[in-house]
Amino acid sequence: MAQEYVTRDDLKAQFDIPTDDTSRDALLDRAIKAASRGIDRATGRRFWLDEAPTTRTYRLPGRIACEADGDVLLVDDIGATNGLVVETGSGSSFTAFTGYETTPDNALADGIPVTGLLRVNGSWGTSTARVRVTARFGWPAVPDDVAEACLIQASRLVKRKDSPEGVMGSAEWGVVRLSRRDPDVWNLIEPYLLPGFG
């Protein structure tokens, strides 16, 4: 189940709304959800962790990076290695496999996900083989940059009701057209983009 990157109370604090004022809760919740899922779409990844291990199967073509010390199978972000099971095979016949290391080194200790499985001094097999990975996918925790980007974007979405058609008026400045992409949000999430996204 998808999770949001900031809380309703975080967003209320942005607008100095008392936590016991529930009159705008539905609006705030929609903005937080939209901002969180927008960050997921923009980056090509998600920053919440599966509650329990799930299984994904990978075809090898296009997912292998050749390194000096072996082939790396590029996998979706893995945020916890408890329950991690790797199997190789094809069709309905898979066998448990243990001759791998997770990459990058010390990823989880550094607060980032595992993104590859290194077959030390070896290959993952032929192009017809499959690798089945059971793991808790996602990030170990929501990065501070992502939470801040979500808060900024959710705040913009709440204010959007006062700027129909992306235009905001002011007696001092006149009509101002709002940009489609907030540069602060973009700067905060850009380092997390998967190649090919953005």
- Give the pLDDT confidence of 28-73 residue by residue, as tens digits: 999 999 999 999 999 999 999 999 999 999 999 889 998 888 899 9
Quote the mean pLDDT of the chain: 88
- Reported as a pLDDT band with limits 50, 70 and 90, residue 122 is confident
Q: Which helix (DSSP H) or strand (DSSP E) does residue 12 occupy?
A: helix 8-14
* CB neighbourhood size of 58 (10 A): 19
pTM above 0.85, yes or no: no
Output the DSSP codes for 128-163: T-EEEEEEEES-SS--HHHHHHHHHHHHHHHHGGGS
